[in-house]
Amino acid sequence: MPQSDDAPQHASEATSDPPLTVAALSQRIEAALAKGLPASLRVEGEVANAVIRNGHQYFSLREPGASIGCVMWASDLQRCSHTVRDGDRVIAVGSVVHWAPGGRTQLRVRRVEPIGEGALLATFRDRCDQLRARGYFDPSTKKALPAYPRRIAVLTSATGAALHDVMATAKRRFPACALLLVDVPVQGAAAASRVAQALKRVDAAREALHIDAIILTRGGGSLEDLWAFNELVVAEAVHQCTVPVVAAIGHESDVTIVELVADARAATPTGAAAALLPDREEASVRLGLVERSLGRAIRGCLTAATGRLSQRSGVLAHVQRANMHRQSAVIDALQGRLQGAQPAVVLARRGHRLQQLGHRLHVGMRDQLGVAQARVPWAQLPGAIARRVQTVGGQLEVLGRALEIVNPESVLARGFSLTMDNQGKLIRDASALHSGDVLHTRLRHGAVRSRVEPAPTQA
């Protein structure tokens, strides 16, 4: 009965009023929105499906279980300092409108206020634009990294894992390079100013401390944790450093402004150390190749100099022989004329003349020999050869110093040791040893022979 009474009532309500047109319904919706909602609303949500078409930006604001479409007209977008991206958490300021042609009710956004991490990302992008315009990211301003650094300053927290990674990598790749730890806070309110001050102090003392490069590093964390390395004061300090700076901040997916300004960026602290330090085994091979090449060049220079010396010696000997033959012929002719003169007076006069000619012959041969020696720079040859040998010797001395850096004896002199098995193979991993193996340990002075014993069992 109640159901039968209600049915005619619904039928009567459905047919008593004339139907609305779509336009009329849209007008009623617009009027209801204008009357029922404030003219300006502030709506918080996460941005999704952001896109710009024809100068206008369209996106959605969403939260679990709800979503609303948003539009920002080109005129409003041009005045807005922040362009939203998917994932931003923002407060959209605007009014609810109904778009009749498309039958959509949406939020017309006039202004966007980033919040939380979205605000930090907006600041990050603004600072990147500012520093890019000033040329801080220009590759042409980046300094070259040293090939064989003597000492590297590591700016990081003394208690962080990043320092351990850098030290382990340096010991493995190039133990001849010294590390100087500069302990600085890597997060917190004071971190940025402390890091900037440390960079300036290290750079100012670079010559006294023999600093060839700087590693600025820390481990991973949230955007807030890493924010000290997005501060302009740190970026300025890195840009002004005269020593090359390698930055490795956070994980591989993290990017900070300091890394973009630095002369080189590494994904991890280990990567930063590897970027600066050569592999000692590869360096040893290269030095061997250079040494052999230089030896061949020296031998070639000496052979060529010896050939030129022999050639010039032959020319001088030929000049001397020619002069001797010519003067001997003159003497023979004079002797023949002397023997043909019979009178004693004539004989005496001819003898005196012969003495004069002999003296002139001696003086002439001496002068001609001096001229021949002057034409051939005989005296310059030993000096030229000595200078060439000195130049080549200097090059060998430079290579010798570089080779000494990677010399295992130098490593032993600093307190390290080398442990080998019975076959002389270097032990690198304790897991490769077995109980009873005989080991030979080489120290700076002397050697030690030992045997591997099983580890004592723990109670």
- Residue 336: which residues within 8 A CB-CB, separation 6 or more? none
Query: In the prediction, which pLDDT does 159 show?
Result: 92
The yes-or-no verdict on residue 341 having pLDDT over 50 is no
Interval 349-361 mean pLDDT: 63
The answer to whether residue 429 sits within a structural domain is yes
User: Among 15-24, 316-325, 363-372, 410-419, which range has the highest average pLDDT?
Assistant: 15-24
Q: Do 274 and 128 sit in the same domain of this protein?
A: yes
Position 289 confidence tier, pLDDT thresholds 50, 70, 90: confident
The answer to whether residue 5 sits within a structural domain is no
This prediction's pTM: 0.46
The yes-or-no verdict on residue 11 having pLDDT over 60 is no
Of 224, 249, 278, which residue constitutes the final position of a domain? 278
Q: Do 131 and 237 sit in the same domain of this protein?
A: yes
Q: Compute the mean pLDDT over every residue in the chain, rounded to the nearest whole number.
A: 81
Q: Do 139 and 207 sit in the same domain of this protein?
A: yes
Q: Do 221 and 162 sit in the same domain of this protein?
A: yes
| Residue 314 Cα distances to 280, 320, 374, 376, 385, angstroms | 51, 10, 15, 11, 19
Domain tally for the chain?
4
* pLDDT tens readout for residues 96-119: 999 888 888 999 999 988 776 667
The yes-or-no verdict on residue 83 having pLDDT over 80 is no
The yes-or-no verdict on residue 376 having pLDDT over 60 is no
Q: Do 167 and 214 sit in the same domain of this protein?
A: yes
Question: H/E/C letters for each residue in the chain?
Answer: CHHHHHHHHHHHHHHHCCCCCHHHHHHHHHHHHHHHCCCCEEEEEEEEEEEEECCEEEEEEEECCEEEEEEECHHHHHHCCCCCCCCCEEEEEEEEEEECCCCEEEEEEEEEEECCHHHHHHHHHHHHHHHHHCCCCCHHHCCCCCCCCCEEEEEECCCCHHHHHHHHHHHHHCCCCEEEEEECCCCCCCHHHHHHHHHHHHHHCHHHHCCCEEEEEECCCCCCCCHHHHCHHHHHHHHHCCCCEEEEECCCCCCCHHHHHCCEECCCHHHHHHHHCCCHHHHHHHHHHHHHHHHHHHHHHHHHHHHHHHHHHHHHHHHHHHHHHHHHHHHHHHHHHHHCCCCHHHHHHHHHHHHHHHHHHHHHHHHHHHHHHHHCCCCHHHHHHHHHHHHHHHHHHHHHHHHHHCCHHHHHHCCCCEEECCCCCECCCHHHCCCCCEEEEECCCCEEEEECCCCCCCC
The yes-or-no verdict on residue 373 having pLDDT over 90 is no
The answer to whether residue 22 sits within a structural domain is no
Of 114, 148, 182, which residue constitutes the final position of a domain? 114
Query: In the prediction, which pLDDT does 163 show?
Result: 94
Q: Do 394 and 427 sit in the same domain of this protein?
A: no
Query: In the prediction, which pLDDT does 380 show?
Result: 64
Position 423 confidence tier, pLDDT thresholds 50, 70, 90: confident
Query: In the prediction, which pLDDT does 377 show?
Result: 58
Lowest mean pLDDT among 333-347, 357-371, 433-447: 333-347
The answer to whether residue 14 sits within a structural domain is no
The yes-or-no verdict on residue 15 having pLDDT over 70 is no
User: Among 174-188, 293-307, 408-422, which range has the highest average pLDDT?
Assistant: 174-188
Q: Could you tell me which residue, 326 or 350, shows the higher pLDDT? A: 326
* pLDDT tens readout for residues 117-141: 667 777 888 899 999 999 999 999 9
Interval 411-435 mean pLDDT: 79
User: Among 285-289, 346-350, 371-375, which range has the highest average pLDDT?
Assistant: 285-289
Q: Do 274 and 178 sit in the same domain of this protein?
A: yes
Q: Do 332 and 436 sit in the same domain of this protein?
A: no
Q: Do 258 and 288 sit in the same domain of this protein?
A: no
Query: In the prediction, which pLDDT does 364 show?
Result: 60
The answer to whether residue 17 sits within a structural domain is no
Taking alpha carbons only, the member of 58, 231, 47 closest to residue 128 is 231
The yes-or-no verdict on residue 95 having pLDDT over 60 is yes
The yes-or-no verdict on residue 391 having pLDDT over 80 is no
The yes-or-no verdict on residue 168 having pLDDT over 90 is yes
Lowest mean pLDDT among 25-29, 45-49, 250-254, 267-271: 250-254
Lowest mean pLDDT among 175-179, 422-426, 454-458: 454-458
Q: Could you tell me which residue, 303 or 43, shows the higher pLDDT? A: 43
Check which CATH number belongs to the domain holding 81 and give it. Answer: 2.40.50.140
Domain enclosing residue 233, as ranges: 124-278
Q: Do 305 and 442 sit in the same domain of this protein?
A: no
The yes-or-no verdict on residue 348 having pLDDT over 60 is no
The answer to whether residue 61 sits within a structural domain is yes
Q: Do 314 and 368 sit in the same domain of this protein?
A: yes
Q: Do 180 and 205 sit in the same domain of this protein?
A: yes
Q: Say how far residue 164 (Cα) sits from the centre of its chain.
A: 21
Of 251, 278, 305, which residue constitutes the final position of a domain? 278
The answer to whether residue 4 sits within a structural domain is no
The answer to whether residue 204 sits within a structural domain is yes
Taking alpha carbons only, the member of 175, 178, 188 closest to residue 154 is 178
Query: In the prediction, which pLDDT does 234 show?
Result: 96
Lowest mean pLDDT among 230-244, 267-281, 292-306, 351-365: 351-365
Do the Cβ atoms of 215 and 272 come closer than 8 Å? yes
